[in-house]
Structure 1
Amino acid sequence: MPNLSIDLDRALALLQAGELVAIPTETVYGLAADASQPHAVAKIFALKGRPADHPVIVHIAGKAQLDDWAQDIPAAARQLADAFWPGSLTLILKRKPHVPDAVTGGQDTVGLRAPAHPLAHALLTRFGGGLAAPSANQFGHVSPTTARHVFNEFGERLPLILDGGPCPVGVESTIVGLTGDHPTLLRPGGVPVEAIEAVLGVKLVHHEKPATAQMRVSGLLDSHYAPRTPLLVGPLDALAREAAQRAAAGERVALLHRSQMLLAVAGATAHAMPMAADDYARALYASLRELDTGGFDALLLETPPQAAEWLAVNDRVKRAATGWLS
């Protein structure tokens, strides 16, 4: 795979020339372009097959660049940047006039994040500007958490994939909207909601509320993060029945489970998932990608726990699922 590298000099030169580079972050790998060059950002949309009105997050080196991209920045935004940047938190703020529509989807807001991955941070520090960088995969497909995932998705169509190893968080950033009267959770992710609320001293409003229903941000489509193999979610007993029925019909199924004692299900390939929420999040996309290439007719996933620390996992599972069993 000749386009996998840790060559920051080459990455910098390609980005400055308006080309694409896949970069590691602590959440997932991103497909990066110079956010100030609309023609470069357009290459992201073309390669991903992403709708043109779907905004992308701008990645910056740190809080010192907030004012380069946003205006009317509330104190809450600076509090959160102080507390969680570099890290897995994206802030939605009022955009500066010069920010390209190609980045914002034509909206008056912009999403900003300072990633914590050392390779991405070093690149951004040297680059000096902002990098538009949605996940490095075909639009709607399972996000990549290794450089090989990116290569499997795009091959030689990308001039460079910076190989920073497996992503240590494994699901996308938490997105908080700060343009209204109240801080709003738009997407759960790598930073727990409770930690954000502790810093702000207020509860976050959730994005299902009518006031924010029309806001477009990354990762809010009903169907997203999905494997190409149908993914059914439900309790283990319902999955076992489904697996047995499908096996009897000659289908091949994989069963993703957390149960410590799993009875063998005839005709199903068992795939154990981690017990802890953080470990599960780190393994989720890699597991779905691995099984998606296994020639299965269906993937059956045991419903994750509903406790607060599982919020981001459950959000991704909900958007990835084809259907639900009970």
Structure 2
Amino acid sequence: MSSIFDCGDEAQLLAGMRHARQAISRGELIVMPTDTVYGVAADAFSPTAVQRLLDAKGRGRNQPPPVLVGSKEVVHALAESVPEPVQRLIDAFWPGGLTIVLPAQPSLVWDLGDTEGTVAIRMPEGRVALELLAETGPLAVSSANLTGRDAAISALDAERMLGDSVSVYLADGLSRDGIASTIVDATSLVPRGAEPTTGGVRILRDGAVSRERLAEVLGDLLEPAESAADAES
């Protein structure tokens, strides 16, 4: 039986955070508020928990979840390298609605799915999310909905879709704007062996951070949007 805690009530917040930490430590799923939409979360370093997350959403391993972190510094432990332009993005947009894909640190022992050696990382805004991440460490988090359905903008939305597959629901009102994070691929900025870097940063999904704002930080390193003809080919 799932438990729902109202994080607007201080007593329920404390109890909810405790139950959420315990659920994560047992390899179970929780639903948590973020600054974009509600997310379903699992221990990023537990392959069983990550698979449970994918199963709950009806996803395959070809759609690995991003990883949420509680501080900017953690990215250096999860990514193989953080190039200077990526650091500019982090400084400009974290905490916030930007997810950055980088080559994963090869020494990490985890299994997020078929990532092809990459990891998608974001530091969210919001007291509940950041306090939880500070205590649990990095979490594999995907939007709290069934695949193909609209993202949940409330804990009740998530509960209607995910039900008892989630142990703990942390409710904190409606999502601020209900817009998912922007996802950018910065893997081409990381050198491979002796080969020089020649690519830029590519937008994989439009979302909370606009192309215009990204261009202000990256300049010519932001790859142009695909034309309609390119997208159809």
TM-score category of the 2 structures, normalised to the smaller one = 0.7 to 0.9
Letter in 2 for 1:73: V
1 CA distance for matches of 2:172 and 2:224?
33
Q: Does 1:178 align with 2:186?
A: yes
2 CA distance for matches of 1:166 and 1:43?
26
Are the equivalent residues in 2 in contact too, given 1:26–1:88 (CA < 8 A)?
Answer: yes
Letter in 1 for 2:206: P
Instruction: Give the drift of 1:204.
Output: 2.1
Matched with 1:42 is 51
Mean Cα displacement is larger for which, 199-208 or 76-85?
199-208
1 CA distance for matches of 2:55 and 2:2?
23
Q: Does 1:149 align with 2:170?
A: no
Q: How does 1:136-215 map to 2 (within 5 A)?
A: 136-180=144-188, 181-202=199-220, 204-206=222-224, 208=226
- The structure that has the greater radius of gyration is 1
2 CA distance for matches of 1:101 and 1:140?
26
Letter in 1 for 2:84: A
Matched with 2:89 is 80
Instruction: Give the drift of 1:99.
Output: 4.1
Are the equivalent residues in 2 in contact too, given 1:63–1:78 (CA < 8 A)?
Answer: no
CA 1:105 to 1:113, structure 2 compared with 1: closer, same or farther past 3 Å?
same
Instruction: Give the drift of 1:185.
Output: 1.0
Q: How does 1:285-300 map to 2 (within 5 A)?
A: none
| 3-state secondary structure, aligned to 2:133 | helix
Matched with 1:10 is 19
Instruction: Give the drift of 1:193.
Output: 1.4
Aligned-pair identity in percent equals 34
Matched with 1:27 is 36
Q: Deviations over 1:41-61 (max 9, x none)?
A: 010011111011212100001
| 3-state secondary structure, aligned to 1:93 | strand
Are the equivalent residues in 2 in contact too, given 1:31–1:133 (CA < 8 A)?
Answer: yes
1 CA distance for matches of 2:225 and 2:183?
10
RMSD: 2.1
Letter in 1 for 2:146: Q
CA 1:191 to 1:149, structure 2 compared with 1: closer, same or farther past 3 Å?
same
Aligned length: 210
Are the equivalent residues in 2 in contact too, given 1:38–1:100 (CA < 8 A)?
Answer: no
| 3-state secondary structure, aligned to 1:39 | helix
| 3-state secondary structure, aligned to 1:202 | helix
2 CA distance for matches of 1:158 and 1:2?
6
2 CA distance for matches of 1:73 and 1:29?
27
Letter in 2 for 1:158: V
Are the equivalent residues in 1 in contact too, given 2:45–2:110 (CA < 8 A)?
Answer: no
| 3-state secondary structure, aligned to 1:111 | strand
Matched with 1:57 is 66
2 CA distance for matches of 1:41 and 1:105?
12
Any runs of at least 4 consecutive aligned residues in structure 1 with deviations exceeding 3 A, and if so which? 98-102, 206-209
Greater relative contact order: 1 or 2 (C-alpha under 8 angstroms, separation 6 or more)? 2
Are the equivalent residues in 1 in contact too, given 2:33–2:170 (CA < 8 A)?
Answer: yes
Are the equivalent residues in 1 in contact too, given 2:2–2:169 (CA < 8 A)?
Answer: no
| 3-state secondary structure, aligned to 1:167 | coil
2 CA distance for matches of 1:96 and 1:203?
23
CA 1:58 to 1:206, structure 2 compared with 1: closer, same or farther past 3 Å?
farther
CA 1:206 to 1:22, structure 2 compared with 1: closer, same or farther past 3 Å?
farther
Instruction: Give the drift of 1:198.
Output: 0.7
Instruction: Give the drift of 1:194.
Output: 1.0
2 CA distance for matches of 1:15 and 1:85?
24
2 CA distance for matches of 1:31 and 1:80?
25
Q: Deviations over 1:187-230 (max 9, x none)?
A: 11111111111112336225748xxx9xxxxxxxxxxxxxxxxx
CA 1:204 to 1:111, structure 2 compared with 1: closer, same or farther past 3 Å?
same
CA 1:98 to 1:138, structure 2 compared with 1: closer, same or farther past 3 Å?
farther
Letter in 2 for 1:182: G
Give the TM-score taking structure 2 as reference length.
Answer: 0.84
